[in-house]
Structure 1
Amino acid sequence: MAVIGIMSALHEELAAVLADMPDEQRVTVAGRDFWVGHWQGHAVVAVLSRIGKVAAATTATVMLERFGVDALVFTGAAGGLGQGVRVGDVVVASGLVQHDMDASPLFLRHEVPLYGRAIFETDAALSVQLADAAQQVLQEADRFLGPDTLTQFELALPQMHRGLIVSGDRFVSTTAESQALREALPDALAVEMEGAAVAQVCFDYGVPFTAVRTISDRADDAAHTDFNRFISEVASRYSRAILSEWLAKRSSA
């Protein structure tokens, strides 16, 4: 049976995942708690990624080396960058870039040295499956979140997007920073702090990977959402529902 790896960026999201894994067993490696169990008939290993690219890369490497996962999905929140990407929307990555990678003049800006690339593409089939699951969940957002939550967070008609997600070791929260990112990487839809590092690890190992991010803010001065409450009441519920929908339709072979 194939083993599915799930990495969550925040405790609330991991807790939501574990709520659907009644037989999970904890295995501690490299100071991290990996939860081994089953979900929707699939063998699953779930773990908290920790924050930042190095921590996430370490976690992903243990996932692949110690637990031998056959596919890896990262779920978490992100700041919106692309036009039309709003709070409450979901972005499924088609590729990821480290926006703070700059080894120029030896290499082009954003290019990872010795790889000959800046973008690490996600697995096409896996991304389509997660995008389909996200689309289904968002069409029924009121069922998963409740109409009161949709109203309180002003989440009118949440949308699913597919495209480029960028990662870096800083929390982008000003208009100047987000505008600079849009100018440097005009195709970027969202910004976060882990995904591109995990994508590079999975590229090295040849393991299918994709990332699913819920937009918590617009990564600018106008961001006013209660972040912790948003994660608890919106992002974690989206993550649980999307992953459950995906696993329910995924072959266990």
Structure 2
Amino acid sequence: MSRIAIVSAMHQELRALLPALDKHQSATFAGRTFHIGTMEGQPVVMTLSGIGKVAAATTATLLLQEIDVQRIVFTGAAGGLGPGVRVGDVVVARELLQHDMDASPLFPRFEVPLTGRSRFPTDPDLSAALASAALHCLQHAAERIGETHLADFGIDSPLLHQGLVVSGDRFVATAAESEALRAALPDALAVEMEGAALAQVCADFGRPFAVIRTVSDRADDSAHVDFNRFIVDVASVYTREILATWMSGAVE
């Protein structure tokens, strides 16, 4: 059975996932601890990537070379960009793009030099399975997270979105920045700091991957408000429940 990597950008998410890991062993490469075991009977490795594109690319390369995982799922939070993408919603990426990649005039803006492309597609089957699990969990968000926690963050009837997610080495936290991204990339649903780097590495290795993000803010001037509490009370719970639902085969 092929091993699945579950990669978290933040400590809080990894801490929420580790109790679900059975037959736990660990290995260390390049200063990173890889937690190896099973979840819902499936072989997995969980690890912390750290924040940013270089950290994500290094982690993905180690997973593929040193541990030989066959699939990678990246989890975490993101800022909402698209219309109707609200705090508490979940975005499953279908494409990833580096919004801060600009080697013009040598190459078109956003294109990764020498690859001929700017958008890197996720694995369709893996993404569809995670989307089904996410939709199931969102339909039961109140009982899994608690109505009080949802109300604290203004979350009501959270939705699932699928499409373009953009990445860059900058925490987008002003209305001006998010408006500029929407103008340049009108189909972008969300912005984060790691996914497109993971996508480029997985494309180089020819390995399937998926990226699933909980929307923590609208990537504007309120983006810093209660961010850490949101990760603990909402995003980490979503991630744990979605992955468990997917791995258990509870939904098709």
**Alpha-carbon contact 1:216-1:225 (below 8 Å) kept:** no
**Letter aligned with residue 142 of structure 1:** A
Q: What are the residue-to-residue correspondences of 1:92-241 with 2, within 5 Å?
A: 92-223=92-223, 225-241=225-241
Helix, strand or coil at the partner of 1:77: strand
Helix, strand or coil at the partner of 1:237: helix
Q: Give how far 1:148 is off.
A: 1.2
* CA distance in 2: counterparts of 1:227 and 1:168, whole angstroms: 18
CA RMSD, 1 decimal: 1.0
Structure 1 residue 249 corresponds to structure 2 residue 249: yes
Tell me the residue number matched to 1:59. 59
> Alpha-carbon deviations, 1:182-229, whole Å to 9, x = none?
011111000000000000000011111110000000010133630111
Q: Give how far 1:249 is off.
A: 1.1
TM superposition score normalised by structure 2: 0.97
Decide which moves more: 14-23 or 220-229: 220-229
Decide which moves more: 99-108 or 218-227: 218-227
4+ runs of 1 displaced by more than 2 Å?
222-225
Q: Give how far 1:152 is off.
A: 1.3
Helix, strand or coil at the partner of 1:24: strand
Tell me the residue number matched to 2:31. 31
* CA distance in 2: counterparts of 1:9 and 1:158, whole angstroms: 22
Tell me the residue number matched to 1:84. 84
**Alpha-carbon contact 1:8-1:74 (below 8 Å) kept:** yes
* CA distance in 2: counterparts of 1:83 and 1:136, whole angstroms: 22
Helix, strand or coil at the partner of 1:158: coil
Tell me the residue number matched to 1:43. 43
TM superposition score normalised by structure 1: 0.97
- Unaligned runs of at least 5 residues, structure 1: none
**Alpha-carbon contact 1:6-1:72 (below 8 Å) kept:** yes
* CA distance in 2: counterparts of 1:181 and 1:110, whole angstroms: 12
**Alpha-carbon contact 2:76-2:212 (below 8 Å) kept:** yes
* CA distance in 2: counterparts of 1:85 and 1:122, whole angstroms: 20
> Alpha-carbon deviations, 1:49-103, whole Å to 9, x = none?
1011011100000000011111100000000000000000000000000000001
* CA distance in 1: counterparts of 2:95 and 2:155, whole angstroms: 26
Helix, strand or coil at the partner of 1:210: strand
Residues 1:224 and 1:99: Cα distance change in structure 2 (over 3 Å): closer
The percent identity for this pair of structures is 61
**Alpha-carbon contact 2:24-2:35 (below 8 Å) kept:** yes
**Letter aligned with residue 113 of structure 1:** P
* CA distance in 2: counterparts of 1:222 and 1:202, whole angstroms: 33
- Unaligned runs of at least 5 residues, structure 2: none
**Letter aligned with residue 179 of structure 2:** Q
* CA distance in 1: counterparts of 2:21 and 2:187, whole angstroms: 37
**Letter aligned with residue 189 of structure 2:** L
Q: Give how far 1:154 is off.
A: 1.4
- Number of matched pairs: 250
* CA distance in 1: counterparts of 2:118 and 2:43, whole angstroms: 32
* CA distance in 2: counterparts of 1:223 and 1:57, whole angstroms: 25
